[in-house]
Amino acid sequence: MTKTITADEIRELFSQAMSEMYQQEVPQYGALLELVADVNLAVLENNPALHEQLLNADELARLNVERHGAIRLGSAAELATLRRLFRVMGMYPVGYYDLSQAGVPVHSTAFRPVEDEALCRNPFRVFTSLLRLELIADPALRKKAAAVLAKRDIFTPRLYQLLDRYEAQQQFTPDEAKQFVQEALETFRWHSHATVDAATYQALHDEHRLIADVVCFRGCHINHLTPRTLDIDRVQAAMPEYGIAPKAIIEGPPRRDLPILLRQTSFKALEEPILFAGEHQGTHTARFGEIEQRGMALTPKGRALYDRLLNEAGTGKDNLTHQLHLQQVFSAFPDNEMLLRRQGLAYFRYRLTPVGEVHRSAIRPGDDPQMLIERGWITAQPIIYEDFLPVSAAGIFQSNLGDNTQGRSHGNASRDAFEQALGCEVLDEFTLYQQAEDRSKRRCGFL
Protein backbone atom coordinates (compact mmCIF):
# COMPACT_ATOMS: atom_id res chain seq x y z
CA MET A 1 0.00 0.00 0.00
CA THR A 2 1.23 3.51 -0.78
CA LYS A 3 1.60 5.85 2.13
CA THR A 4 -0.87 8.71 2.40
CA ILE A 5 -0.83 12.04 4.16
CA THR A 6 -3.70 13.72 6.01
CA ALA A 7 -5.30 17.07 5.23
CA ASP A 8 -4.06 18.33 8.62
CA GLU A 9 -0.49 17.46 7.70
CA ILE A 10 -0.74 19.15 4.30
CA ARG A 11 -2.22 22.28 5.89
CA GLU A 12 0.62 22.34 8.39
CA LEU A 13 3.23 22.04 5.61
CA PHE A 14 1.57 24.74 3.57
CA SER A 15 1.13 27.18 6.43
CA GLN A 16 4.80 26.74 7.33
CA ALA A 17 5.96 27.19 3.73
CA MET A 18 3.79 30.27 3.33
CA SER A 19 5.22 31.80 6.51
CA GLU A 20 8.77 31.18 5.31
CA MET A 21 8.04 32.71 1.94
CA TYR A 22 6.46 35.79 3.51
CA GLN A 23 9.39 36.28 5.88
CA GLN A 24 11.64 36.39 2.83
CA GLU A 25 9.35 38.76 0.97
CA VAL A 26 8.48 41.05 3.90
CA PRO A 27 11.26 41.00 6.51
CA GLN A 28 9.17 43.13 8.89
CA TYR A 29 6.86 40.14 9.26
CA GLY A 30 9.81 38.22 10.69
CA ALA A 31 10.39 41.03 13.21
CA LEU A 32 6.70 40.92 14.13
CA LEU A 33 6.86 37.15 14.71
CA GLU A 34 9.77 37.67 17.11
CA LEU A 35 7.95 40.40 18.99
CA VAL A 36 4.80 38.28 19.32
CA ALA A 37 6.78 35.27 20.53
CA ASP A 38 8.57 37.43 23.15
CA VAL A 39 5.30 38.90 24.42
CA ASN A 40 3.54 35.53 24.52
CA LEU A 41 6.38 34.05 26.54
CA ALA A 42 6.35 36.94 29.01
CA VAL A 43 2.58 36.74 29.41
CA LEU A 44 2.69 33.02 30.13
CA GLU A 45 5.54 33.44 32.62
CA ASN A 46 3.73 36.16 34.53
CA ASN A 47 0.35 34.48 34.47
CA PRO A 48 0.53 30.83 35.56
CA ALA A 49 -3.28 30.64 35.74
CA LEU A 50 -3.59 31.57 32.07
CA HIS A 51 -0.83 29.10 31.23
CA GLU A 52 -2.74 26.36 33.01
CA GLN A 53 -6.04 27.32 31.41
CA LEU A 54 -4.60 27.31 27.87
CA LEU A 55 -2.92 24.01 28.53
CA ASN A 56 -6.16 22.43 29.75
CA ALA A 57 -8.13 23.77 26.83
CA ASP A 58 -5.55 22.36 24.35
CA GLU A 59 -4.89 25.94 23.25
CA LEU A 60 -1.23 26.16 24.13
CA ALA A 61 0.20 23.75 21.57
CA ARG A 62 -1.30 25.55 18.60
CA LEU A 63 -0.32 29.05 19.71
CA ASN A 64 3.03 29.15 17.93
CA VAL A 65 1.79 27.70 14.65
CA GLU A 66 -1.35 29.77 14.58
CA ARG A 67 -1.81 32.41 11.90
CA HIS A 68 -4.15 33.70 9.26
CA GLY A 69 -3.47 35.22 5.87
CA ALA A 70 -5.47 37.18 3.30
CA ILE A 71 -5.82 37.19 -0.48
CA ARG A 72 -7.95 39.11 -2.98
CA LEU A 73 -9.26 37.45 -6.13
CA GLY A 74 -10.42 38.84 -9.46
CA SER A 75 -12.93 36.32 -10.81
CA ALA A 76 -15.45 33.63 -9.99
CA ALA A 77 -13.27 31.00 -11.68
CA GLU A 78 -10.33 31.91 -9.42
CA LEU A 79 -12.50 31.59 -6.33
CA ALA A 80 -13.87 28.22 -7.45
CA THR A 81 -10.34 26.83 -7.94
CA LEU A 82 -9.18 28.24 -4.60
CA ARG A 83 -12.03 26.34 -3.00
CA ARG A 84 -10.67 23.10 -4.52
CA LEU A 85 -7.15 23.99 -3.41
CA PHE A 86 -8.12 24.69 0.20
CA ARG A 87 -10.22 21.52 0.38
CA VAL A 88 -7.06 19.47 0.01
CA MET A 89 -5.90 21.08 3.27
CA GLY A 90 -9.18 20.53 5.09
CA MET A 91 -10.15 24.20 4.83
CA TYR A 92 -13.78 25.12 4.07
CA PRO A 93 -15.48 28.47 3.43
CA VAL A 94 -17.09 29.81 6.61
CA GLY A 95 -19.14 33.01 6.76
CA TYR A 96 -19.99 35.77 4.30
CA TYR A 97 -18.52 39.24 4.83
CA ASP A 98 -19.90 42.21 2.92
CA LEU A 99 -17.21 44.90 2.80
CA SER A 100 -19.05 47.12 0.31
CA GLN A 101 -20.77 48.78 3.27
CA ALA A 102 -17.40 50.24 4.19
CA GLY A 103 -16.72 51.39 0.64
CA VAL A 104 -14.41 48.45 -0.18
CA PRO A 105 -15.59 46.82 -3.44
CA VAL A 106 -15.19 43.19 -2.34
CA HIS A 107 -17.06 40.46 -0.51
CA SER A 108 -15.31 37.69 1.36
CA THR A 109 -15.29 34.41 3.19
CA ALA A 110 -12.72 32.68 5.41
CA PHE A 111 -11.34 29.28 4.45
CA ARG A 112 -10.53 27.39 7.63
CA PRO A 113 -10.67 23.97 9.28
CA VAL A 114 -13.99 23.21 10.95
CA GLU A 115 -13.48 20.13 13.10
CA ASP A 116 -12.35 20.29 16.74
CA GLU A 117 -9.27 18.17 16.18
CA ALA A 118 -8.19 19.97 13.02
CA LEU A 119 -8.64 23.37 14.69
CA CYS A 120 -6.67 22.21 17.67
CA ARG A 121 -3.78 21.00 15.56
CA ASN A 122 -3.40 23.97 13.22
CA PRO A 123 -6.21 26.45 12.64
CA PHE A 124 -4.62 28.14 9.58
CA ARG A 125 -7.21 30.47 8.03
CA VAL A 126 -7.25 32.50 4.83
CA PHE A 127 -9.51 35.54 4.56
CA THR A 128 -10.45 35.43 0.89
CA SER A 129 -12.01 38.37 -0.92
CA LEU A 130 -13.53 38.55 -4.37
CA LEU A 131 -13.45 41.82 -6.29
CA ARG A 132 -16.87 43.09 -7.32
CA LEU A 133 -16.30 44.52 -10.76
CA GLU A 134 -19.92 45.66 -10.90
CA LEU A 135 -19.04 48.28 -8.28
CA ILE A 136 -16.62 50.03 -10.66
CA ALA A 137 -18.56 53.11 -11.70
CA ASP A 138 -16.91 53.83 -15.08
CA PRO A 139 -18.15 51.27 -17.68
CA ALA A 140 -15.04 51.55 -19.88
CA LEU A 141 -12.74 50.93 -16.92
CA ARG A 142 -14.91 48.03 -15.76
CA LYS A 143 -14.57 46.42 -19.19
CA LYS A 144 -10.83 47.00 -19.22
CA ALA A 145 -10.41 45.41 -15.77
CA ALA A 146 -12.49 42.39 -16.81
CA ALA A 147 -10.41 41.96 -19.98
CA VAL A 148 -7.11 42.07 -18.07
CA LEU A 149 -8.39 39.53 -15.56
CA ALA A 150 -9.74 37.22 -18.28
CA LYS A 151 -6.22 36.88 -19.67
CA ARG A 152 -4.53 35.64 -16.52
CA ASP A 153 -4.39 32.24 -14.89
CA ILE A 154 -3.13 32.45 -11.31
CA PHE A 155 -2.57 28.67 -11.02
CA THR A 156 0.22 26.57 -12.52
CA PRO A 157 -0.68 23.80 -15.03
CA ARG A 158 0.80 21.25 -12.63
CA LEU A 159 -1.49 22.45 -9.86
CA TYR A 160 -4.58 21.71 -11.96
CA GLN A 161 -3.24 18.20 -12.63
CA LEU A 162 -2.64 17.64 -8.95
CA LEU A 163 -6.13 18.88 -8.04
CA ASP A 164 -7.69 16.49 -10.58
CA ARG A 165 -5.65 13.69 -9.17
CA TYR A 166 -6.60 14.51 -5.59
CA GLU A 167 -10.28 14.62 -6.47
CA ALA A 168 -10.06 11.28 -8.28
CA GLN A 169 -8.22 9.53 -5.42
CA GLN A 170 -9.47 11.62 -2.47
CA GLN A 171 -5.93 11.58 -1.13
CA PHE A 172 -2.29 12.38 -1.87
CA THR A 173 0.91 10.45 -1.35
CA PRO A 174 3.48 12.39 0.72
CA ASP A 175 5.38 13.12 -2.48
CA GLU A 176 2.31 14.48 -4.27
CA ALA A 177 1.54 16.59 -1.20
CA LYS A 178 5.03 18.09 -1.31
CA GLN A 179 4.59 18.98 -4.96
CA PHE A 180 1.15 20.38 -4.22
CA VAL A 181 2.52 22.71 -1.54
CA GLN A 182 5.22 23.98 -3.91
CA GLU A 183 2.79 24.54 -6.78
CA ALA A 184 0.15 26.15 -4.57
CA LEU A 185 2.74 28.55 -3.18
CA GLU A 186 3.25 29.97 -6.70
CA THR A 187 -0.29 31.37 -6.66
CA PHE A 188 0.45 33.38 -3.49
CA ARG A 189 3.89 34.64 -4.43
CA TRP A 190 4.65 38.34 -4.96
CA HIS A 191 5.39 39.48 -8.54
CA SER A 192 7.11 42.81 -8.97
CA HIS A 193 6.23 42.91 -12.70
CA ALA A 194 2.77 44.35 -13.29
CA THR A 195 0.81 42.88 -16.18
CA VAL A 196 -0.43 46.29 -17.35
CA ASP A 197 1.14 49.58 -18.40
CA ALA A 198 1.51 52.50 -16.02
CA ALA A 199 -1.52 54.35 -17.40
CA THR A 200 -3.88 51.40 -16.87
CA TYR A 201 -2.53 50.86 -13.37
CA GLN A 202 -3.09 54.53 -12.57
CA ALA A 203 -6.65 54.54 -13.91
CA LEU A 204 -7.58 51.47 -11.85
CA HIS A 205 -5.76 52.84 -8.82
CA ASP A 206 -7.67 56.12 -9.06
CA GLU A 207 -10.97 54.23 -9.11
CA HIS A 208 -9.91 52.32 -5.96
CA ARG A 209 -6.43 51.25 -4.83
CA LEU A 210 -7.69 47.80 -4.14
CA ILE A 211 -8.82 47.32 -7.73
CA ALA A 212 -5.29 48.00 -9.01
CA ASP A 213 -3.94 45.53 -6.44
CA VAL A 214 -6.25 42.75 -7.62
CA VAL A 215 -6.18 43.36 -11.36
CA CYS A 216 -2.59 44.32 -12.24
CA PHE A 217 -0.56 41.30 -11.16
CA ARG A 218 -0.08 37.71 -12.24
CA GLY A 219 -1.06 36.08 -8.97
CA CYS A 220 -3.14 36.80 -5.88
CA HIS A 221 -0.12 37.62 -3.67
CA ILE A 222 -0.68 36.96 0.02
CA ASN A 223 -1.11 40.48 1.43
CA HIS A 224 -0.49 39.74 5.11
CA LEU A 225 0.06 36.97 7.62
CA THR A 226 -1.13 37.34 11.18
CA PRO A 227 0.27 35.60 14.26
CA ARG A 228 -1.86 35.27 17.41
CA THR A 229 -0.77 37.12 20.53
CA LEU A 230 -1.91 36.77 24.13
CA ASP A 231 -1.62 40.52 24.78
CA ILE A 232 -2.29 42.79 21.85
CA ASP A 233 -2.02 46.03 23.85
CA ARG A 234 1.52 45.11 24.77
CA VAL A 235 2.49 44.23 21.20
CA GLN A 236 0.94 47.45 19.89
CA ALA A 237 2.93 49.47 22.44
CA ALA A 238 6.20 47.65 21.68
CA MET A 239 5.94 47.78 17.88
CA PRO A 240 7.90 51.05 17.41
CA GLU A 241 10.79 49.58 19.47
CA TYR A 242 11.04 46.82 16.90
CA GLY A 243 11.02 49.32 14.04
CA ILE A 244 7.41 48.66 13.13
CA ALA A 245 4.82 51.45 12.71
CA PRO A 246 1.40 50.30 13.96
CA LYS A 247 -1.94 51.48 12.61
CA ALA A 248 -3.60 54.04 14.89
CA ILE A 249 -6.31 51.96 16.51
CA ILE A 250 -6.79 48.40 17.74
CA GLU A 251 -9.94 47.07 16.09
CA GLY A 252 -12.62 45.08 17.88
CA PRO A 253 -13.75 44.87 21.52
CA PRO A 254 -11.83 46.45 24.43
CA ARG A 255 -9.42 44.65 26.77
CA ARG A 256 -11.34 42.52 29.28
CA ASP A 257 -10.71 39.87 31.93
CA LEU A 258 -12.43 37.39 29.62
CA PRO A 259 -11.52 38.30 26.04
CA ILE A 260 -14.33 38.04 23.49
CA LEU A 261 -14.20 37.58 19.71
CA LEU A 262 -11.17 39.16 18.10
CA ARG A 263 -8.93 42.19 18.57
CA GLN A 264 -6.61 43.17 15.70
CA THR A 265 -4.02 45.69 14.72
CA SER A 266 -1.64 45.94 11.76
CA PHE A 267 1.42 47.76 10.47
CA LYS A 268 1.28 49.94 7.41
CA ALA A 269 1.72 48.43 3.96
CA LEU A 270 5.17 48.71 2.42
CA GLU A 271 5.85 50.83 -0.62
CA GLU A 272 7.43 48.36 -3.03
CA PRO A 273 9.10 48.95 -6.39
CA ILE A 274 7.29 47.49 -9.38
CA LEU A 275 7.90 47.40 -13.10
CA PHE A 276 5.03 48.14 -15.47
CA ALA A 277 4.62 46.63 -18.92
CA GLY A 278 6.76 48.87 -21.11
CA GLU A 279 9.43 48.85 -18.36
CA HIS A 280 8.30 51.98 -16.54
CA GLN A 281 9.21 51.91 -12.89
CA GLY A 282 6.69 52.62 -10.17
CA THR A 283 5.65 51.62 -6.67
CA HIS A 284 2.78 49.68 -5.17
CA THR A 285 1.58 49.44 -1.57
CA ALA A 286 -0.34 46.33 -0.64
CA ARG A 287 1.52 44.06 1.70
CA PHE A 288 1.52 44.48 5.45
CA GLY A 289 1.60 42.66 8.76
CA GLU A 290 -1.10 42.16 11.34
CA ILE A 291 -1.54 40.67 14.79
CA GLU A 292 -4.61 39.33 16.50
CA GLN A 293 -5.77 38.34 19.95
CA ARG A 294 -8.59 35.82 20.02
CA GLY A 295 -11.26 35.46 22.67
CA MET A 296 -14.44 33.50 23.11
CA ALA A 297 -17.00 32.88 20.37
CA LEU A 298 -20.33 34.62 20.99
CA THR A 299 -23.83 33.26 20.39
CA PRO A 300 -26.17 35.24 18.10
CA LYS A 301 -27.46 36.96 21.26
CA GLY A 302 -23.92 37.85 22.40
CA ARG A 303 -22.99 38.98 18.93
CA ALA A 304 -26.03 41.25 18.69
CA LEU A 305 -24.97 42.87 21.96
CA TYR A 306 -21.40 43.24 20.68
CA ASP A 307 -22.58 44.83 17.42
CA ARG A 308 -24.87 47.23 19.26
CA LEU A 309 -22.17 48.36 21.72
CA LEU A 310 -19.52 48.69 19.02
CA ASN A 311 -21.85 50.82 16.97
CA GLU A 312 -22.67 52.93 20.01
CA ALA A 313 -18.96 53.47 20.74
CA GLY A 314 -18.07 54.62 17.22
CA THR A 315 -14.42 55.10 16.26
CA GLY A 316 -11.91 57.38 17.93
CA LYS A 317 -8.82 59.09 16.57
CA ASP A 318 -6.17 57.84 19.00
CA ASN A 319 -5.95 54.40 20.52
CA LEU A 320 -5.84 55.37 24.19
CA THR A 321 -8.99 57.51 24.08
CA HIS A 322 -10.74 54.97 21.92
CA GLN A 323 -9.91 52.06 24.25
CA LEU A 324 -11.04 53.97 27.36
CA HIS A 325 -14.29 54.90 25.67
CA LEU A 326 -14.82 51.30 24.48
CA GLN A 327 -14.30 50.04 28.02
CA GLN A 328 -16.99 52.36 29.30
CA VAL A 329 -19.48 51.36 26.64
CA PHE A 330 -18.68 47.66 27.01
CA SER A 331 -19.27 47.71 30.77
CA ALA A 332 -22.75 46.59 29.65
CA PHE A 333 -21.22 43.30 28.42
CA PRO A 334 -20.82 40.82 31.32
CA ASP A 335 -17.18 39.97 32.05
CA ASN A 336 -17.84 36.98 34.26
CA GLU A 337 -17.93 33.40 33.07
CA MET A 338 -21.05 32.36 34.91
CA LEU A 339 -23.05 35.33 33.65
CA LEU A 340 -21.85 34.81 30.09
CA ARG A 341 -22.97 31.21 30.31
CA ARG A 342 -26.26 31.74 32.08
CA GLN A 343 -27.27 34.61 29.82
CA GLY A 344 -26.40 32.53 26.76
CA LEU A 345 -23.92 35.10 25.40
CA ALA A 346 -20.97 32.82 24.61
CA TYR A 347 -20.25 29.23 23.60
CA PHE A 348 -18.58 26.76 25.96
CA ARG A 349 -16.99 23.36 25.71
CA TYR A 350 -17.77 21.07 28.65
CA ARG A 351 -15.50 18.34 29.97
CA LEU A 352 -15.86 15.72 32.67
CA THR A 353 -13.44 16.05 35.58
CA PRO A 354 -11.93 12.84 37.03
CA VAL A 355 -14.65 12.95 39.70
CA GLY A 356 -17.23 13.49 36.97
CA GLU A 357 -15.94 10.41 35.12
CA VAL A 358 -16.71 8.36 38.21
CA HIS A 359 -20.26 9.73 38.32
CA ARG A 360 -20.84 9.69 34.56
CA SER A 361 -23.80 7.30 34.83
CA ALA A 362 -25.57 9.62 37.28
CA ILE A 363 -25.56 12.49 34.76
CA ARG A 364 -28.86 12.75 32.86
CA PRO A 365 -29.85 14.56 29.67
CA GLY A 366 -31.33 17.90 30.69
CA ASP A 367 -29.23 18.27 33.86
CA ASP A 368 -28.29 21.88 34.63
CA PRO A 369 -24.59 22.33 33.77
CA GLN A 370 -24.22 24.94 36.51
CA MET A 371 -25.15 22.33 39.11
CA LEU A 372 -22.67 19.85 37.62
CA ILE A 373 -19.95 22.51 37.65
CA GLU A 374 -20.66 23.34 41.29
CA ARG A 375 -20.41 19.67 42.19
CA GLY A 376 -17.04 19.55 40.48
CA TRP A 377 -18.15 16.96 37.92
CA ILE A 378 -17.60 19.06 34.80
CA THR A 379 -15.68 22.14 33.75
CA ALA A 380 -16.66 24.71 31.12
CA GLN A 381 -14.11 26.30 28.83
CA PRO A 382 -14.94 29.09 26.42
CA ILE A 383 -14.82 28.08 22.76
CA ILE A 384 -12.35 30.30 20.92
CA TYR A 385 -13.62 32.47 18.05
CA GLU A 386 -12.13 31.16 14.81
CA ASP A 387 -13.62 33.71 12.42
CA PHE A 388 -13.42 37.39 11.49
CA LEU A 389 -15.37 40.61 12.07
CA PRO A 390 -16.62 42.71 9.15
CA VAL A 391 -16.19 46.09 10.86
CA SER A 392 -12.65 45.20 11.95
CA ALA A 393 -11.81 43.80 8.51
CA ALA A 394 -13.01 47.06 6.95
CA GLY A 395 -10.73 48.97 9.36
CA ILE A 396 -7.77 46.79 8.35
CA PHE A 397 -8.51 47.27 4.65
CA GLN A 398 -8.88 51.05 5.11
CA SER A 399 -5.65 51.46 7.06
CA ASN A 400 -3.81 50.15 4.03
CA LEU A 401 -5.68 52.06 1.40
CA GLY A 402 -4.57 55.46 2.59
CA ASP A 403 -6.56 57.39 5.15
CA ASN A 404 -8.38 59.48 2.56
CA THR A 405 -10.50 56.66 1.13
CA GLN A 406 -13.70 57.51 2.90
CA GLY A 407 -16.61 55.10 2.92
CA ARG A 408 -18.40 55.16 -0.39
CA SER A 409 -21.32 53.30 0.93
CA HIS A 410 -22.55 51.01 -1.82
CA GLY A 411 -23.95 48.81 0.89
CA ASN A 412 -25.54 45.98 -1.03
CA ALA A 413 -24.55 42.52 0.05
CA SER A 414 -24.63 39.91 -2.65
CA ARG A 415 -24.28 36.62 -0.89
CA ASP A 416 -26.02 34.66 -3.65
CA ALA A 417 -23.59 35.91 -6.28
CA PHE A 418 -20.65 35.07 -4.01
CA GLU A 419 -21.88 31.55 -3.37
CA GLN A 420 -22.54 31.03 -7.04
CA ALA A 421 -18.94 32.02 -7.81
CA LEU A 422 -17.71 29.75 -5.03
CA GLY A 423 -19.78 26.82 -6.24
CA CYS A 424 -21.31 26.09 -2.83
CA GLU A 425 -22.88 27.76 0.17
CA VAL A 426 -20.63 29.15 2.88
CA LEU A 427 -20.93 27.40 6.24
CA ASP A 428 -22.62 29.24 9.09
CA GLU A 429 -20.19 30.03 11.91
CA PHE A 430 -22.87 30.01 14.64
CA THR A 431 -23.99 26.52 13.63
CA LEU A 432 -20.39 25.28 13.87
CA TYR A 433 -19.90 26.68 17.39
CA GLN A 434 -23.28 25.37 18.52
CA GLN A 435 -22.39 21.90 17.21
CA ALA A 436 -19.06 21.97 19.03
CA GLU A 437 -20.81 22.91 22.28
CA ASP A 438 -23.49 20.24 21.79
CA ARG A 439 -20.91 17.54 21.07
CA SER A 440 -19.17 18.33 24.34
CA LYS A 441 -22.47 18.24 26.25
CA ARG A 442 -23.32 14.86 24.75
CA ARG A 443 -19.90 13.49 25.73
CA CYS A 444 -20.57 14.57 29.32
CA GLY A 445 -24.05 13.07 29.21
CA PHE A 446 -26.29 16.08 29.90
CA LEU A 447 -27.61 16.52 26.35
Q: Which residues bind ligand OOG (CB under 6 A)?
A: 70, 72, 127, 129, 223, 264, 290, 388, 392-393, 396-397
* Closest CB 350 distance from ligand OOG, rounded Å: 30
Site residues (CB under 5 A) for Ni ion? 70, 226, 290
HEC readout, 271-332:
EEEEECCCCCEEEEECCCEEEEEECECECHHHHHHHHHHHHHHCCCCCHHHHHHHHHHHHHH
User: Among ligand OOG, Ni ion, none, what binds residue 223 when CB lies within 5 to 8 Å by partner kind?
Assistant: ligand OOG
Comparison of 75 and 128: residue with beta carbon closer to Ni ion: 128
Closest contact distance (angstroms) between CB of 226 and Ni ion is 5
Q: Report CA torsion sign: 132, 97, 153, 200.
A: positive
Minimum distance from residue 227 beta carbon to ligand OOG (Å): 12
| Torsion from C-alpha of 56, 43, 18, 110, nearest 10 degrees | 60
Give the nearer residue to ligand OOG in terms of CB position, either 75 or 129.
129
> Least CB distance from residue 180 to Ni ion, whole Å?
24
Rounded to a whole number of angstroms, the minimum distance from the CB of residue 89 to ligand OOG is 18
CB closer to ligand OOG out of 89 and 393: 393
Measured from the CB atom, the residue of 290 and 429 that comes closer to ligand OOG is 290
Nearer to ligand OOG, 210 or 363 (CB): 210
Nearest-approach distance from CB 201 to ligand OOG, in angstroms:
19
For ligand OOG, the closer CB: 154 or 396:
396
